[in-house]
Every structure is written in C-alpha cells, then in structure tokens.
C-alpha cells in the first residue's frame, strides 16, 4: 500500500469511526443513564437518512434538510420517551429488548409505506461537492472531510456539555446513581427525556450525514445498530469517551480489514471485540 492510498484509508477510517461515534454515544448514554437497551437506536439512523432524502428533495439542499431534520428528531425522541420508553425503566432488559424490537418492525414498515423500498441517492451540497487531488490518479472527496469535521466539532460540544454545564453535571450524576440524584431534588425524568432526545437526534444526524455516501436503503439501521453495540461493549457502557475511542478502533479495524483481508472483512470488528472481552470484560473505559 503506497502512502496516498494509506492516507485515503486513514481518512476513511476516521470519518467512518466518527460517524459511528455519533450513533454509539447516544446509545451508550441511554444504556448508562437510563439502564435501557434500545434495539431501535439503529432505526433512528435509518430515519435520519430517509429524512435527509425526503427533505432534500423538498428543500433542494442537504443543509436545509439537516437544519429541519434535527429539531424534528429531537421532538420525535422526546415523544417516544414520553409515550413508550418511560414505561420501561423499571422493567427488565428482556422486555426492553422486545418492545424495541417491535419498534424496529413498525419503523421499517412505516418507512416502506411512506417512502417505499427503493434505494435512493442524496445529493452532496454543491459547495462541498469537490475533491482534493492527492496524486495524479487519487483524490479525496471534500464531503467526507466535512463529515469528519462536523463529527469532531460535535464530539467537542458533547464534551463541553457533559463536563462543563449544569445539565452535564446532572447527566453524569444520573449515570452514577440515579436514586441519589432524585433525592437531591433533581427532576430525573426531565434528564431522561433530554438525554433520550439527544441520542435520537445524534443518531438521526449520523444518518443524514451518511446519506449521500452510503445512499438510503431499507434496513440500513440494523448493521449500524450492531456495530454500535460492539462499540459500546468495547468502550464500556455509559462511557462517552470509551465510545469515542472504541468507535475509532472499529472504524480503523473495519476500513483496513476491508482493504487487507476482504474475505473476512465482516468478521474483523467482532474479532476485535472478542479480544477486548478477554482482556477487559467491562470495556476499555468503564463509566467515566
């Protein structure tokens, strides 16, 4: 592998890993704080991608689609938390698995009813539709770089919110001991709703950003969901920074796996997970 293709694969790994981080960070927060296993989290990614498709067709640009899509996803997340997930906090994991599994079926069918089962493309916004020439034959698309930049900015923002704001303090406290937080007079239900809506919005945003690269297709959420599980397992439940590290590990393992051992590319990520499990069954960074 020469340097230019190595650079391209490295950038691809970063971009893929960071995008996965957007999905996994919401998932790990919902696990860590609310104690809920949410199989439907991948559906939010799928819904985001389809929102990008529908709204881009309607407004003419992915930028507008994202600007409209994020508030929609936030409201949708808050609604779901109120209508369904708030009933699951005291239930056991099995029932959470079931209910969220049922939700996947419902979301996929609704998607099929409303948008159909075809594969759709989404146009890259005009001002990002270019590529950087690396060598005479190889170039790197600006849009992929833009995704990485947006994701890094979001990771920093997430860091700031969680570490430096009052809301973040409450989220971290809720992660450690929810009974104590409640007894201190903090409205834990409000925190749950905010965290859940945030998780939905992040996953949907990941879907919207990914739409022009991966195109939009049925069941696109399920692969992302399972990879996100792997990330949460590697990173440690409830740890956002663990999720970031793990997402990058997975991004690199998957991307370079596809290049170096194409036949086994689907398996590489799971082998990484198995190794981490042997080494640290609780994940690289447990709750932090």
Partner 1 sequence: MNAQASLIPKLVAIAVIACVPLSGESFYIEIVGKMLVMAIFAMSLDLLVGFTGLVSFGHAAYFGIAAYAVAILSPQYEAASLWYVLPASVALAALAAFVIGLFVLRTKGIYFIMVTLAFAQMAYFIFHDTPLGGGSDGTYLNNKPSASILGWEPFDLNNEVHLFYFILATMVLVYLFLARVLQSPFGRVLVGIKSNEHRMQSLGYFTFRYKLGAFTLAGGLGGLAGFLYAVLFGFVTPELLSWHESGNVLLMVILGGMGNLAGVIAGAFAFEMMREVFADITKYWQLLMGGVIVAVVLFLPGGLAGIPGRIKRAMQGGDSK
**Residues in contact with partner 1 by the rule CB under 8 A:** 31, 35, 37, 39, 84, 87, 91, 93-95, 97-99, 101-106, 108-110, 113, 222, 226, 229-230, 232-233, 237, 263-267, 270-271, 273-274, 277-278, 281-282
d(CA 285, CA 82): 31
C-beta of 13: minimal distance to partner 1 in Å? Answer: 19
Cα dihedral across residues 144, 239, 70, 46: positive or negative: positive
- In sequence order, the 6+-apart residues with CB closer than 8 A to the CB of 135 are 4
CA distances from 142 to 11, 25, 53, 134, 216 (A): 11, 25, 20, 12, 20
Q: Which is nearer to partner 1, 150 or 226 (CB)?
A: 226
List phi, psi (to 5°) of 132: -95, 130
Phi, psi of 254 (to 5 degrees): -70, -45
Beta strands in the chain (DSSP E): 131-133, 139-141
Closest to 17 measured CA to CA, from 288, 206, 208:
206
109 or 135: whose CB is closer to partner 1?
109
Residue 99 CB, nearest approach to partner 1 (Å)? 4
- Pick the closer one to partner 1 by CB: 62 or 230: 230
**CA 233 to CA 221: how far, in whole Å?**
18
Q: Which is nearer to partner 1, 237 or 248 (CB)?
A: 237
Q: How far is the CB of 228 from partner 1 (least distance, A)?
A: 9
Q: To the nearest whole angstrom, how small is the minimum distance from the Cβ of residue 94 to partner 1? A: 5
Residues 109 and 271: their CA atoms lie apart, in Å, by: 33
If the CB atoms of residues 57 and 109 are measured against partner 1, the closer one turns out to be 109
Shortest Å, Cβ 75 to partner 1: 20
Measured from the CB of residue 230, what is the shortest distance to partner 1 in angstroms? 5
Please, which residue, 23 or 154, has the CB nearer to partner 1?
23
Sign of torsion, CA 231 235 236 237? negative
* Closest CB 133 distance from partner 1, rounded Å: 33
Q: Which of 273, 186, 170, 164 is nearest to 228 (CA)?
A: 273
DSSP-derived letter for residue 122 is -
Q: Which is nearer to partner 1, 37 or 62 (CB)?
A: 37
């Amino acid at each position: 592998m020469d340097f230019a293709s190595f650079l391209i694969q490295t950038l691809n790994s970063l971009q893929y890993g960071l995008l996965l981080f957007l999905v996994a960070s919401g998932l790990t927060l919902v696990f860590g704080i609310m104690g809920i296993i949410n199989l439907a989290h991948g559906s939010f990614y799928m819904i985001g991608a389809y929102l990008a498709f529908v709204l881009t067709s309607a407004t003419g640009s992915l930028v507008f689609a994202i600007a409209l899509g994020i508030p929609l996803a936030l409201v949708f997340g808050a609604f779901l938390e109120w209508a369904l997930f708030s009933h699951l906090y005291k239930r056991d994991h099995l029932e959470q698995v079931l209910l969220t599994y049922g939700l996947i079926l419902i979301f996929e069918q609704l998607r099929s009813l409303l948008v159909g089962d075809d594969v759709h493309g989404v146009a890259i916004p005009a001002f990002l539709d270019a590529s950087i020439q690396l060598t005479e034959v190889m170039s790197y698309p600006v849009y992929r770089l833009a995704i990485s930049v947006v994701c890094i900015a979001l990771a920093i923002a997430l860091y700031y919110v969680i570490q430096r704001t009052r809301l973040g303090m409450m989220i971290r406290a809720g992660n450690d001991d929810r009974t104590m937080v409640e007894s201190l007079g903090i409205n834990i239900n409000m925190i749950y709703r905010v965290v859940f809506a945030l998780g939905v919005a992040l996953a949907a945003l990941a879907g919207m950003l990914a739409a022009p690269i991966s195109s939009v297709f049925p069941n696109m959420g399920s692969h992302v969901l399972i990879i996100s599980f792997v990330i949460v397992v590697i990173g440690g439940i409830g740890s956002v920074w663990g999720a970031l590290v793990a997402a990058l590990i997975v991004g690199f393992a998957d991307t370079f796996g596809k290049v170096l051992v194409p036949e086994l590319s689907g398996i590489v990520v799971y082998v990484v997970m198995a190794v981490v499990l042997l080494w640290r069954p609780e994940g690289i960074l447990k709750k932090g």
